[in-house]
Amino acid sequence: MNKINLIVADDHQLFRDGLTALLNKHPFLNVLATVEDGLELMNTLKKETLPDILLLDLSMPNMNGFEVLKNIRKKYKTVKAIAISMHDDGNYIARCAEYGAFGYLLKNTDETEVIDAIKQVYNGGKYYNQDLSRKMIDSMAEVKSVRKLTKKEAEILEFLSKGFTTKEIASKLYVSTRTVETHRSNMLKKLEVKNTVELINKATTLSLI
Amino acid sequence: MNKINLIVADDHQLFRDGLTALLNKHPFLNVLATVEDGLELMNTLKKETLPDILLLDLSMPNMNGFEVLKNIRKKYKTVKAIAISMHDDGNYIARCAEYGAFGYLLKNTDETEVIDAIKQVYNGGKYYNQDLSRKMIDSMAEVKSVRKLTKKEAEILEFLSKGFTTKEIASKLYVSTRTVETHRSNMLKKLEVKNTVELINKATTLSLI
DNA sequence: TTTTTTCTACGTGTTTTTACGGGTGTTTTT
DNA sequence: AAAAACACCCGTAAAAACACGTAGAAAAAA
């Protein structure tokens, strides 16, 4: 059996190194490289041998895990990504599945499960454990009903989440306050909430923000 | 030189195991146990040999790192805690210092720094690197100026952060909406912000919430 | 090229927030 | 023990934000 080549992507060096130390105890695994964000990853893939498996943290600076997944699927079809996240969140999981991740692991999983997942994915399978699959299905209904926010809406949401007032946002975007209010109000309807604080809370849990 | 006995506390098993694998490569370190939350830690300390050093994640369920630090200082004076957090946040660091942590490390530090910190603390020193110390000092002024929120204010803030409206909160607490508004407005002044969203943002970064 | 969606904006009536002020009881300082 | 500071409560009036409907032009999708 050939060695399985891996790359580990996570923004916390300690986690990265720890995980590598852990993986390296297994003689059939070979960690080719570790990177701290999506950008570095893409550069590494350009230059080095392609790995069989990519262990990918979702929350990274520069280019997050979701972006990475999209890119990988386009440019490096042979690389199979397994997401590693600390969020036990149906929406995250669903998005990973959608973007073509071959597996999803929680950071509070154990060594055995990681190894299992790697083996399974390497052999052509997928690894989403039951608990996670259920969460994903639960969140589906909700996510679908939300569709997406439009560009302008997302832009305004961004400002709202930083605490800017309607007036401030209007002047930044060179539109009338009414327009900003309309966009906000449309978002309230889309997400079925009643005020800005709830909007931001919900947008956050749906990772729209 | 005796071996340095350690306990690792973190809610993510993979991080815990990874860090342990990493520490165990060093012959003078000995990981006595790993635990996944503050409660389990306190139980372990009750029953087992006391460690020299405790590597302590701050964000854990059941009993978080800050609570742990308080307890440690009361009951187990010989155990020296080093906080390991992913938050590069002056306020966190300051609170750790206040509660008697002997060091503060970021999760994106490297192996060398961890080992350094452990050695230094074991030998009677403290380990707060320069960058962090500066952040702490920066945040000091701000934190002090904030004083504390009163009970009622904190209560109302809690509701606000969950997206309840003024009216809803008023009826929950059996006071007029005007009162709720007054409290909110006082908080806005205290934290020097201009609306509820900013209030919640700031309260969060100051960990008042 | 139709059709649909998105972005922009307005009007009107309602609700919420803000600014300013006042009152009572409790705790802290002097 | 008196004075000062704080915490909590509420009112009015004006300003801002909001709800809800409408609607045209531009952009995207079919």
Over residues B200-208, mean pLDDT: 82
A111 and A76 belong to one structural domain:
yes
Same domain, B121 and B103: yes
Region class of A207: left (phi > 0), else alpha (psi between -120 and 50), else beta:
left
| Same structural domain, A123 and A168 | no
Do both B104 and B26 map to the same domain? yes
Name which of B13, B12, B15, B53 is nearest B32 in CA terms.
B53
What's the rounded Cα separation, in Å, for the pair A24 and B20? 14
Q: With the C-alpha atoms ordered B70, B74, B78, B79, is the resulting torsion angle positive or negative?
A: negative
Q: Does A93 lie in the same domain as A11?
A: yes
Q: What is the mean pLDDT of residues B10-35?
A: 95
pLDDT in tens, B156-183: 999 999 999 999 999 988 999 999 999 9
Q: Does residue A69 share a domain with residue A57?
A: yes
Regarding predicted confidence, which is higher, A118 or B138?
Answer: A118
Domain end call among A93, A121, A142:
A142
Q: Are residues A188 and A120 in the same domain?
A: no
- For chain B, give me the number of helices (H) and strands (E)? 10, 6
- Residue A154: per-residue pLDDT: 86
With a cut of 90, say whether residue B30 has pLDDT above it: yes
Instruction: Give the domain CATH number at B161.
Output: 1.10.10.10
Cα B15 from Cα B153, distance rounded (Å): 37
- B209 vs A: CB within 8 A: no
Name the nucleotide nearest A180; use CA and C1': C8
Report the CATH number at residue A60: 3.40.50.2300
- End position of a domain, from candidates B110, B142, B174: B142
Whether residue A100 is found in the same domain as residue A135: yes
Domain end residue (candidates: B92, B121, B142) = B142
Model pLDDT, residue A109: 93
Categorize the per-residue pLDDT at B146 as very low, low, confident or very high, splitting at 50, 70 and 90: low
pLDDT value at residue B88: 84
Query: What's the pTM value of the predicted model, to 2 decimals?
Result: 0.81
Q: What is the pLDDT of residue A134?
A: 78
Task: Choose from B17, B191, B197, B209 for mutation: most chain A CBs within 10 A.
Answer: B197
Find the mean pLDDT for residues B98-126: 93
Same domain membership, residue B96 and residue B32: yes
What gap in Å lies between CA B78 and CA B84, rounded to an integer?
Answer: 19
- Minimum-distance residue to D11 (CA–C1'): B178
B127: pLDDT strictly greater than 70: yes
* Domain co-membership, A123 together with A155: no
Q: What is the spatial distance between Cα B188 and Cα B182, in angstroms, rounded to a whole number?
A: 10
Q: Which residues contact B123 (CB under 8 A, 6 or more apart)?
A: none
pLDDT at residue A29, rounded to an integer = 96
The secondary structure of B55-93 as a DSSP string is EEES--SSS-HHHHHHHHHHH-TTPEEEEEES---HHHH
Which of A15, A24, A110 to mutate to probe the B interface, most B CBs <10 Å? A15
Residue B171, CB, less than 7 Å from strand D?
no
For chain A, list residues with pLDDT below 50. 145
Tally of domains in chain B: 2
* CB of B185 nearer than 7 A to strand D: no
Q: Residues B77, B160: one domain? A: no
Q: What is the pLDDT of residue B142?
A: 59
- B168 CB-to-strand C distance under 7 Å: no
Domain coverage including residue B20: 4-142
Residues 130-149 of B with CB under 7 A from strand D: 147
